[in-house]
Amino acid sequence: GDSVTQMEGPVTLSEEAFLTINCTYTATGYPSLFWYVQYPGEGLQLLLKATKADDKGSNKGFEATYRKETTSFHLEKGSVQVSDSAVYFCALKPSRETSYDKVIFGPGTSLSVIP
């Protein structure tokens, strides 16, 4: 079945460091891919998305590129801030448009940024 795998956390970085959170997926066809972020005590917010191969999603300095050949959607940011401390979830929605398919979430990666 379809699945999402993320690098295990927690990840601890100093402010202004470069961030990479790896995400790989297993799915048939061309799923849509997402990164969601969950700040402490809150619900999930959509951070960015990509709906087809080679698309790059970007938002708030974060980027991720849909790589069909490596089935990956790694999250990157050039310079993290303390306010980026949160849990990041990679997710996919299968591409079968004629019937319902639920969004599948990865286990989440906790990021702590220290001043």
Partner 1 sequence: NAGVMQNPRHLVRRRGQEARLRCSPMKGHSHVYWYRQLPEEGLKFMVYLQKENIIDESGMPKERFSAEFPKEGPSILRIQQVVRGDSAAYFCASSPNLQGPEQYFGPGTRLTVT
Would you tell me which residues interact with partner 1 (CB under 8 A)? 32, 34, 36, 42-46, 49, 51, 89, 93, 97, 100, 102-103, 105-108
- Provide the residue type at 37 as one letter: V
Picking from 44, 100, 18, the residue whose alpha carbon sits closest to that of residue 35 is 44
Q: Is the dihedral of CA 80, 41, 45, 25 positive or negative?
A: positive
Which tokens in the block code for residue 78?
């050039």
Q: Residue 58 Cβ, how far from partner 1 at the closest point, in Å?
A: 15
Nearer to partner 1, 49 or 74 (CB): 49
Q: Residue 39 Cβ, how far from partner 1 at the closest point, in Å?
A: 10
Q: Residue 32 Cβ, how far from partner 1 at the closest point, in Å?
A: 4
Give, in order, the Cα–Cα distances in Å from 105 to each of 16, 36, 73: 28, 9, 13
In whole angstroms, what separates CA 82 from the centre of its chain?
19
Nearer to partner 1, 67 or 93 (CB): 93
Q: Residue 48 Cβ, how far from partner 1 at the closest point, in Å?
A: 10
Nearer to partner 1, 43 or 115 (CB): 43
